[in-house]
Amino acid sequence: MSIHPTAIIDASSTLAADVEVGPYAIIGRHVTIGKGTTVGAHAVVGDWTEIGENNRIFPQASVGAPPQDLKYRGEECWTRIGNNNMVREFATIHRGTVTGHAETVIGNGNMFMAYSHVAHDCRIGNGVVMANVATLAGHVTVEDNVIIGGLVAVHQFTSIGMNAMIGGGTMVSLDILPYTIATSARRRDTKLRGLNLIGLKRRGFSADAINNLKKAYKALFMADLKLPDAIARIKSEITDCKEVDYLLAFIENSKRGICRG
């Protein structure tokens, strides 16, 4: 274990043998940090935080701080972070609240660029990239392999489906469908701009899956059909495609409503 002598670590916390903690870093109460993780200079890890293995928390980052929620009264709520994540300078990740899930949960292999923010009770999957100053309000769900551009702001209780891409500066107030690209040009309303075809190909989606998703997208947004009619057509015309099935399930389970093309 490599702990700089100026670092402050609460006695109730547990660090794996090879964890590195830099100068003036602070580790709060009831924190566990797994092997291979580094905490940079002046970084702060707040109370009730679990951090897995091989994470890199860069200088000045803040992980597990109390939520920006006026109802929060210091209750025991958690931040849980998986493995192989990167939290860059001045990024902030807040713990959950008792009015939410009582925890903020982050999976594996994610990158939070400088000044990005993850608010209380968010749930983030695996392989997510949040670019500089991207911001999630409370209770947001981000599924696997999503890319969120710089200066994006996501409204509370919104969901972003897997393999979606959000263009820089976009204001997200409705659920973003899996496999799609969403942008807002020149401060106009946010709209879907089509499928994230390059991302799907890079992720190894089959040609059949991509073609089926194209058919589904056209039925949803280019066939002048009401949403229930479009879903019915897709179910009758496209069978045995798990990607399309997931797309339709996402729509049917949406509580905020979906961003449209």
Residues with Cβ within 8 Å of residue 181, at least 6 apart in sequence: 164, 165, 166, 167, 192, 193, 194, 195, 196
Question: What number of other Cβ atoms are within 10 A of residue 3's Cβ?
Answer: 16
CA distance 148 to 160: 10
CA distance 174 to 194: 16
Residue 117 annotated to the active site: no
Q: In what order do the strands lie in the sheet with 86-87?
A: 2-3, 20-21, 38-39, 56-57, 86-87, 111-112, 129-130, 147-148, 165-166, 180-183, 191-195
For 78, list phi and psi in degrees, rounded to 5: -120, 160
Q: 69 by DSSP, 3-state: which?
A: coil
Residue 224 annotated to the active site: no
C-alpha distance from residue 146 to each of 159, 174, 176, 205 (Å): 11, 16, 10, 15
Given the residues 69, 121, 144, 175, the one annotated as active site = 121
Residue 30 annotated to the active site: no
Which of 195, 153, 197, 196 shows the shortest CA–CA distance to 174? 153
Given the residues 46, 52, 107, 138, the one annotated as active site = 138
CA 158 to chain centre: 11
Given the residues 82, 120, 139, 167, the one annotated as active site = 120
> So which residues are the catalytic ones?
120-121, 138
